[in-house]
Structure 1
Amino acid sequence: MQAYRASIFHLEDDPSTIDGEAHAFHADGLLLVEDGRVVACGAYAHLADELGDTPVEDLTGKLITPGFVDTHIHFPQVDMIAAHGEQLLDWLERHTFPAEAAFADRGHAEQTAEFFVEELLRNGTTSALVFGSVHRVSVEALFAAALKRDMRLIAGKSLMDRNAPPGLTDTVETGRADMEGLIADWHGKGRLGYAVTPRFAISCSDAQLAMAGQVLAEHPTVWMQTHLSENIREIVDTAVLFPDAADYLDVYDRFGLVGDRSVFAHGVHLQGDAFQRLAKAGSAVAFCPTSNLFLGSGLFPLESACAHGVKVGIGTDVGAGTSFSVLHTLGEAYKVGQLRGESLDPLHAFYLATLGGARALGLEDEIGSLEPGKIADFLVLDLAATPLLARRLAAAKTLEDRLFALMVLGDDRVVERTFVAGVERHRR
């Protein structure tokens, strides 16, 4: 058994929907881990008798939290993060598609995958829902890199059979064959999972979307991920391509892609009726504030989505997103709320990044908090990682004040250690 003594914080429920406290905080806490799972988590004074002869690692002054859950990120866009200019559709043509074309090469895919998963861990992300390129080898390389580190990673190859450059399109037949092969080889291997991944409606024909829905129905334990209602021009172009659909969400719904294992990135321009339908289906939305700001896409209505009962997680959306850091992304989510006249509570923000993200993926029984029995994915955060952060936190009067300072001033430097299934996978 491993034992860690530090301040400990995690969410036990959604603080925006319940009366009373939805979190647990132990100023002097103890986390016990055995065989990769949490055995106990609570106040040191209450748990010390359970230690026996187990040595305690004293991390006094640090904060232990669950690992972060990133519900939307693009593996093949690492090398064009911070690419200047354009909004969504022109940005894809100018920057994204040329970068993704390189992933036809297995060596490039493998080298990038190693960097990508290390960067996730360095930023405290222990679970992620990831887009691959259209190439099967890109997802194979990513799965192999994550499997070596026992990460909880769900990914899929992008489906694109139209409106993409040569070398970045597949067909209904090749898309199905690639997915069936990836599911057979990787889904359920270690902590890996497969996600059926239509890039977005614009890139997929009716036949491609119908095939995606068929594969999803034939493999009920896989996930579905795509983009929805991100950009005004994208919405208009989608309506032209699918004139019989009632709206953008209906495009996916008519092909069987809206369900309780579906995660839709962005949803910036969705309104009440669409949120109601998503909530009824049990689908989730990935809130991606840095990319929505970077591409000028708009301001996600978080309060409206939550009020309708939609599951919401946080997404860094690299490479339109500007940072792998979930902490930094939470700070930008707060700014988006301010522009909408809403104030994101720091407890709710950390919920989105941990237990909320786990619920968005249907994995709340496995990850997202430090409750006994869950897999021990956790972080050790350095509350004095920078002089400014140390000074600000020294003046903080409440837990909420400390958490807010972390999400506004924090970044990868705060993540001192990252543990995956009880094994240290990163140390700053």
Structure 2
Amino acid sequence: MTPEKPPAPSPPRPETVFDWVEHRDSLRRQNGLHRVLRPRAATEDVLDLAGNDYLGLSRHPAVTEAAAEAVRTWGAGSTGSRLVTGTTELHATLEEELAAWYGTEAALVFSSGYAANLALVTALTDESSLIVSDRNNHASLIDGCRLCRAEVRVVAHSDPEAVRAVLRESPRPAVVLTESVFSVDGDVAALDRLLTVCREHGSGLLVDDAHGLGVLGEGAGAFSAFGMGAPADAVATVTLSKALGAQGGAVLGPRRVVEHIAQTARPFVFDTALAPAAAAAALAGIRLLRGQSHLPARVRAVTRQLREELLDHGIGVGEPGAAVLGVPVGAPEAAVAWAGRCLERGVRVGCFRPPSVPDADSRLRLTARADLEDDEVRRVAHVIAETAPDFAALSGG
């Protein structure tokens, strides 16, 4: 009788089930991808080109006083989801005025732009749908695609012809998914051409206008800036936390579509509503912008000036379409070090590394502000140039 083989030894068990996170952390550190939370003070002697307060409204007296009054009137929190107790008169007024300003039939406010994007994609597609998604779309749109179970075709960045080719091949009901202003490099999508392509094939256009609201055209959003009116076959999302200086997000479009999202989108139905203070601040921001249409033009002028100053210093930077500039670096370690040297000199810049950008494509991200003076823009460019890495050494040249 053949003796039974002894059982194979079991692999050593970790002390705890989450020991693997230390290994992942070690890999991130080795690859220059470890991130650190850096609390900032209420007041700093720093020129901030990392945040998204494009028009300088987050500290505008009208905005902050509206938020403070809302806290005194409504309390600190919204107390529930929008369909229970979370919808206040402030939310209703904000949606009404936001839709009127943006030029759509209706608006629906969420607790964040991220939640609004998840709701947009998941409520308007299902397993029978096709989504044609720009390669450079924001993570919130990508996550929406993953959740909705639709077929997703990723196409070349800002290429309406690539979109047309995919739509021509597919018999499925389709939507095209894009940002208006892409969040990493600040280039602007050809929304007018994309809408034309969509209409050729009976498809819908879904636009993340987070970085376009308050910046493109006279500030009233991408549909207005592109002369698209209130399209019946397009829906947009916006954030209230950038140009409006507040917090939250919204979906804007035809009333029947917005009402469908309110009935079916899990990020709306099950999420606690936006706090009244943030709703009031966003409403104040809209009312300010309606009377100060020079602000969008000013932030674009600052962006152009900053680019010209950087080019004069020999710093390569892409052509701006709105208020974002990307400065390619390459290695994540070099981008982190460069941003750190800028901060030591009193200039805060964004530092984008994978997974926010592709591998070997790390960069500084600069966001212009309407309240920057010309001499401050010159100082920013000077600091960035003086602290720049040796690109020849980085490339091995």
TM-score using structure 1 length = 0.26
Q: Which has the higher contact order (CA 8 A, sep 6+)?
A: 2
Structure label with greater radius of gyration:
2
Bigger strand fraction = 1
TM-score using structure 2 length = 0.27
